[in-house]
Chains A and B, each alone.
Chain A
């Protein structure tokens, strides 16, 4: 977590930043040290190179469906599967190719056990797994032609978050936090709710080689259902307020005496400020994290109180509260710590229904709630997993394998066209063939929507200027409104 900054890092930071971007990051640093929330508009005029256009959104909420939702059982309707169900058809299977180089191996087509029907004015085809999200069809921008890298969960999950399958790159939220600073001086710019410890774990919200202040702050852990709102070293309720206050006062008085002795010392000043911020956070954050103050209708909307939806409903509602509080990048994970997380139905595809039940209503509620509060206009909601699943069955006949070559994600909110679909997979829903959107392209597009040029958001490390999109990434302008 990183919410305030040391002036000490300024020099280092400047040394590390490449090609003009340094000034921007520097600026946002200065602003936050001056205890002013860095806002978008301020930086625009001075840094046209980075801010190539007016930002369309201020915040991103990423609903991470860990394990890989099957596109052909959710949003990518393929009637052909019914027709060929049970028959063997040659497919380029990503795992087979990686292991053996063999292409076009025969695979048994596996039709979806769920029915699809059109929703909304746009007639978006959605399966029976997601009736609530279906109701929001007219607000969705559905991308059917996603493709990514990594056949296994670990690499693909790292790629999704950090744009690389290896382990030391900064996470997307860290890049955004580094580029845009924070909107709220009491809270970090990048928060991840119930992250998984597996498949890259903390790397997926780590700042990599960027300074530590840009790493994501974890609220709760996916394995810990009892402490959804736990933040390391933040006390949810202070039992002895008076003592803590006295101790804090003593500490700051001691630091101020030091400051008097060393009036020009940046470090002492930074320490004093870091305690002030921590103190404010200790007082404000528990309030933001306390969702039980929400009215009964809201709790009900998110499915809080119902066994199936309670947990993810709480996570989504917390996301909305953080969004209101000005957190820039909020990730909400639906997953677990295992090597075969949540949606990973290699066998028993029916289990998709359990996961859909747990998430459908809360996600739809989040969209509705953001909309009615006017937050959806400048917030981007992104729903998706690290890859999709094959339209054919695994040998066991009851599950689907990973499919990085074609899958669906959807976006909703500011900056993207609503009620559209973009791109397409082949007739079986396996490979993205039309208007393919690579994960790098999605990253580039999201940065673009936030007003940042992905080719210019760079950081010099080990002799290279790194960026989230490496040397790739094409903005999908067709989906931008």
Chain B
């Protein structure tokens, strides 16, 4: 067996050893350093912590160990040596693997570590000199905030003047059908294009333009009737009227709500464990409804981040505000992260990342571990903003943490009603508990016979089947018991004994887990019982000195979810108990299944049961029924995902290198220095600062938010942003060619009270929007000057929704949840819904396949511009998908019912439905040939539809 390992640089060590001994005459410390310490540093540390490592760009943790000075100065985690408190020296704790583990590829020997300790205790003599490299390495990249504030997009927003144009070009800037208005947009574009002597393309023909407009504003194609009505409208303001009509269509909210959902990473489940956000749909509906009603975008941002804190009066406003904060909770978190401090900061990081990209166009996340390498965002700014969100509770800690839900506001009367119900519930609980004890006592008195296991419901694991660790004693001393007796621990060898009741018989679902034990005063009262289910392990404390409250001798350990073949066991441990620990059986009772034992007489001595027992049981049934109905009414109260302000408001501190447990300098909560600093906004000691954060975000002085939104709206309308990456407007992104147009639109947005619809209207009425996409000119291949239209793809949603509409299958219901019944997890979920795509469940593990194939936004990230791919899997889908075939078939049956006079008429109709035009002669010939003589075959017409749905032309928007 060969074993390959690190080759010891023995020769090198020897050499140093020898030179070290030669020098040793000068001082014992030096001799010790040269002979014992330096070789060790060279061998184990210098690869990553030396001037050489700096030269190779391999320095780790900012720490150099090649001189005394640099060791004292330390790295990111602080000084490496502490001669006053030797054992606290970071280098020593790291070598002992207490916290940091150095060297990472294997712990040093005890002798080596002892040597290092000795060396520090003796004053940490070091013969090395700080190198020039070392100072280079320490010099942090300096971010010059003042200089950056002079750059776009950080300098203050000001209304730019309209560029002057010679009169001939003023005409070009005029839009043709709205000849009174001169669009400012066109002034800016034409002026810049003049510099390159570029001239604009002509307006797109009417039938193509109407297709573009319908899809851009509603995500659906015009029907043949809508198409005809527009084409026949010869009034000069026909286009403008159509624009206004589409802006007020409910489908505008659907289409543009989806745009917004892309940038707020809307999803309805988590990737890990596939847990379903059952209330997230309320947020989706809030977004669509807000966009539809043109709620000011600054108000939406306020509500997203601080809706629960806004001074709202009406119940509607309060409700909307609370639902909007779902925004903060939708991240794709690792809820089972065991280090909850880490999880808390991961949640904050995700929120900051989304707020940063979506509203500020800044990649703040880069500054979590170090100052941003490209943009003017120092780490202290990151933690200043993180400090605000750190004071907000988004998750409830547990083995698998859970998100926060809050009841929706309601009328004072209703609030009182719910409060009464809650009170009633606790009252009922108390009554039930008392009654259970009575019943238990009654049972103990009346039924002392052993109870056969087969009389119990669900899956029962008897103590005879338990896995035993340590010595347990079988007993029949205390009656009643289940089966053949029970086990006890003899009240000895505490902590050395366990019993495990495991089963493999459960099917996926929820179960109530119960433990049967033998009660007596001598029993332990704080027994740790672990239940292992599909959601991990939970520890429950059981008091066996009390009588169990469920007949015949059970206590409930709670309700748990199990999976077929997954872990399912109950573990009883005797550690730290005082008194006898007993166990008789464990019962896994499927939720919802009635417990027949509790409701029937107990067999052999049925006849002896007195009437009062029956009375007790009747009373119990009645109370339980009452409880059920109260609970059911309480459950009806709508909830929403939201957040809670933390009670203790803490000021933040930097996490060195982003490591949560590595505490660095304190910082004050605040905002981005480069974007104007705090703009005179003070943060309160009594609240997290979210209200101030939203004030700052939408302040007219904030240079970023309105610029970012203006650019986003442009990108959503025109296909590409003026600044090409709408999620990132930092200096490291490609600078926009028309910054002054973005500024103009941003000012306009603010002046128009942040109205999305007004800006969309301005853009689609501009000449720039209406130009054709084809050009003969090679001068501007990437269309940076906007002298022609940008060719776009239909979105994935438009592809699906168009097919549904054309097939006559579109379910037009807007709003409301699709999730009934609720699946336990999102794995393998397939929706049969025929509603518009935005209403399909957005499950991270089961995204709709068709939408994924056509580049829907990844719901875990901010997506300001979607991928646009043309790949074979899309083609395979269009050829083979059962859904597409089904919709094509439905469309075929429909057209065969229409009163169209012949095949030509039908072809015209299909082409108008799908492509908004009639076929060319060659196309007509092609399809006529395909149809052959079989003019009325559903199959053949299905193929015609499927062909047009699959065509290149259908997918592109020119």
Q: Shortest CB–CB separation between residue A361 and chain B, in angstroms?
A: 22
The answer, yes or no, to whether B203 is at the interface (CB within 8 Å) is: no
Partner of A154, one of B1, B336, B469, B724: B336
CA distance A344 to B565 in the complex (A): 11
A247-278 residues at the B interface, CB under 8 angstroms = 247-248, 250-251, 253-255, 257-259, 262, 267-268, 270-272, 274-275, 277-278
Flag if A463 contacts B730 (CB, 8 Å): yes
The answer, yes or no, to whether B868 is at the interface (CB within 8 Å) is: yes
Q: Shortest CB–CB separation between residue B306 and chain A, in angstroms?
A: 25
The answer, yes or no, to whether B530 is at the interface (CB within 8 Å) is: yes
The answer, yes or no, to whether A124 is at the interface (CB within 8 Å) is: yes
- Mask of B843-876 contacts with A, CB within 8 angstroms, 1/0: 0110001001001001011100001111111111
Which candidate, B136-144, B380-388, B950-958, is the interface stretch facing chain A?
B950-958
Partner of A433, one of B4, B106, B338, B530: B106
A184-234 residues at the B interface, CB under 8 angstroms = 197-203, 208-209, 211-213, 217, 221, 223, 232-234
Contacts of B730 in A (CB 8 A): 463
Flag if B952 contacts A258 (CB, 8 Å): yes
Most buried by A among B564, B871, B956: B871
- Mask of A323-366 contacts with B, CB within 8 angstroms, 1/0: 00000000000001111100010111000000000000000000
Partner of A267, one of B498, B947, B952: B952
By beta carbon, the residue of chain A nearest B57 is A455
The answer, yes or no, to whether B681 is at the interface (CB within 8 Å) is: no
Flag if B1 contacts A436 (CB, 8 Å): no
B132-169 residues at the A interface, CB under 8 angstroms = none
CA distance A151 to B532 in the complex (A): 16
CA distance A254 to B877 in the complex (A): 18
Partner of A436, one of B106, B375, B845: B106
Flag if B569 contacts A347 (CB, 8 Å): yes
Most buried by A among B569, B844, B870, B877: B870
Flag if A197 contacts B952 (CB, 8 Å): no
CA distance A380 to B927 in the complex (A): 51
The answer, yes or no, to whether A235 is at the interface (CB within 8 Å) is: yes
Partner of B105, one of A336, A417, A435: A435
Contacts of A8 in B (CB 8 A): 868-870
Contacts of B920 in A (CB 8 A): 257
CA distance A402 to B852 in the complex (A): 34
Contacts of A95 in B (CB 8 A): 338
Contacts of A1 in B (CB 8 A): 872-873
Which candidate, B254-262, B266-274, B626-634, B760-768, is the interface stretch facing chain A?
B266-274
The answer, yes or no, to whether B734 is at the interface (CB within 8 Å) is: yes
The answer, yes or no, to whether A282 is at the interface (CB within 8 Å) is: yes
By beta carbon, the residue of chain A nearest B561 is A339
Contacts of B2 in A (CB 8 A): 122, 419-420
Flag if A198 contacts B874 (CB, 8 Å): no
Flag if A167 contacts B272 (CB, 8 Å): yes
Flag if B875 contacts A278 (CB, 8 Å): yes
CA distance A460 to B920 in the complex (A): 45
CA distance A357 to B585 in the complex (A): 33
B300-352 residues at the A interface, CB under 8 angstroms = 332, 334, 336-339, 346
The answer, yes or no, to whether A123 is at the interface (CB within 8 Å) is: yes
Partner of A397, one of B336, B467, B867: B467
Flag if B5 contacts A282 (CB, 8 Å): no
Q: Shortest CB–CB separation between residue B334 and chain A, in angstroms?
A: 5
By beta carbon, the residue of chain A nearest B469 is A397
Flag if B872 contacts A278 (CB, 8 Å): yes
Number of interface residues of B (CB under 8 A): 102
Most buried by B among A103, A208, A268, A395: A395
- Mask of B612-652 contacts with A, CB within 8 angstroms, 1/0: 00000000000000000000000000000000000000000
B861-902 residues at the A interface, CB under 8 angstroms = 861-862, 867-877, 879-881
Flag if B1 contacts A421 (CB, 8 Å): yes
Known contacts: A212-B869, A347-B467. The answer to whether A15 contacts B6 by CB under 8 A is no
The answer, yes or no, to whether A40 is at the interface (CB within 8 Å) is: no
Flag if A198 contacts B869 (CB, 8 Å): no
Contacts of A275 in B (CB 8 A): 872, 875, 879, 950
Contacts of B950 in A (CB 8 A): 251, 275
B89-117 residues at the A interface, CB under 8 angstroms = 98, 104-107
Contacts of A244 in B (CB 8 A): 879
Q: How large is the interface on A (under 10, 10 to 19, 20 to 34, 35 or more residues)?
A: 35 or more
Flag if A168 contacts B861 (CB, 8 Å): yes
The answer, yes or no, to whether A25 is at the interface (CB within 8 Å) is: no
By beta carbon, the residue of chain B nearest A120 is B1
The answer, yes or no, to whether A98 is at the interface (CB within 8 Å) is: yes
The answer, yes or no, to whether A294 is at the interface (CB within 8 Å) is: no
Known contacts: A339-B566, A434-B106, A463-B366. The answer to whether A4 contacts B872 by CB under 8 A is yes
A301-326 residues at the B interface, CB under 8 angstroms = none
Contacts of A346 in B (CB 8 A): 532, 567
Flag if B724 contacts A200 (CB, 8 Å): no
Flag if A2 contacts B871 (CB, 8 Å): yes
Q: Shortest CB–CB separation between residue B536 and chain A, in angstroms?
A: 8
Flag if B728 contacts A463 (CB, 8 Å): yes
Known contacts: A168-B332, A257-B920, A464-B363. The answer to whether A234 contacts B500 by CB under 8 A is no
CA distance A432 to B869 in the complex (A): 44
Most buried by B among A155, A212, A270: A212
A95-147 residues at the B interface, CB under 8 angstroms = 95, 98-99, 103, 122-124
Q: Shortest CB–CB separation between residue A369 and chain B, in angstroms?
A: 26
CA distance A198 to B469 in the complex (A): 33
CA distance A158 to B861 in the complex (A): 17
The answer, yes or no, to whether B571 is at the interface (CB within 8 Å) is: yes
The answer, yes or no, to whether B946 is at the interface (CB within 8 Å) is: yes
Flag if A124 contacts B870 (CB, 8 Å): no
The answer, yes or no, to whether A6 is at the interface (CB within 8 Å) is: yes
Contacts of B106 in A (CB 8 A): 433-436
Known contacts: A122-B2, A166-B334, A435-B105. The answer to whether A398 contacts B500 by CB under 8 A is yes
Contacts of B862 in A (CB 8 A): 462
The answer, yes or no, to whether B26 is at the interface (CB within 8 Å) is: no
Q: Shortest CB–CB separation between residue B737 and chain A, in angstroms?
A: 15
Contacts of B858 in A (CB 8 A): 168, 208-209
Contacts of B535 in A (CB 8 A): 339
Contacts of A267 in B (CB 8 A): 791, 793, 870, 952, 956
Contacts of B728 in A (CB 8 A): 462-463
The answer, yes or no, to whether A295 is at the interface (CB within 8 Å) is: no
Flag if A250 contacts B947 (CB, 8 Å): yes
Flag if B363 contacts A201 (CB, 8 Å): no
Flag if B338 contacts A271 (CB, 8 Å): no
Q: Shortest CB–CB separation between residue A56 and chain B, in angstroms?
A: 16
Q: Shortest CB–CB separation between residue A428 and chain B, in angstroms?
A: 15
The answer, yes or no, to whether A383 is at the interface (CB within 8 Å) is: no
Contacts of A201 in B (CB 8 A): 271, 274, 827, 845
The answer, yes or no, to whether A3 is at the interface (CB within 8 Å) is: yes
Partner of A246, one of B374, B532, B930: B930
By beta carbon, the residue of chain B nearest A124 is B1
Q: Shortest CB–CB separation between residue B369 and chain A, in angstroms?
A: 9
24 contacts between A and B (CB under 8 A): A8-B868, A167-B860, A197-B274, A197-B828, A199-B272, A201-B271, A209-B858, A212-B855, A217-B873, A233-B849, A244-B879, A250-B930, A267-B791, A267-B870, A274-B872, A275-B872, A275-B950, A338-B566, A396-B469, A420-B4, A433-B106, A435-B6, A463-B363, A463-B728
3 closest pairs, A vs B, by CB?
Answer: A463-B363, A6-B870, A98-B338
Query: Which B residues lie at the A interface, using CB under 8 A?
Result: 1-6, 98, 104-107, 271-274, 332, 334, 336-339, 346, 353, 357, 363, 365-366, 372, 374-375, 467, 469, 498, 500, 502, 530, 532, 534-536, 563-567, 569, 571, 573, 724-725, 727-728, 730, 732-734, 774, 782, 791, 793, 827-828, 844-845, 849, 852, 855, 858, 860-862, 867-877, 879-881, 920, 922-923, 926-927, 930, 939, 943, 946-948, 950-953, 955-956
Given A167-B272, A339-B567, A340-B534, list of 5 further CB < 8 A pairs? A4-B872, A154-B272, A255-B952, A267-B791, A478-B4
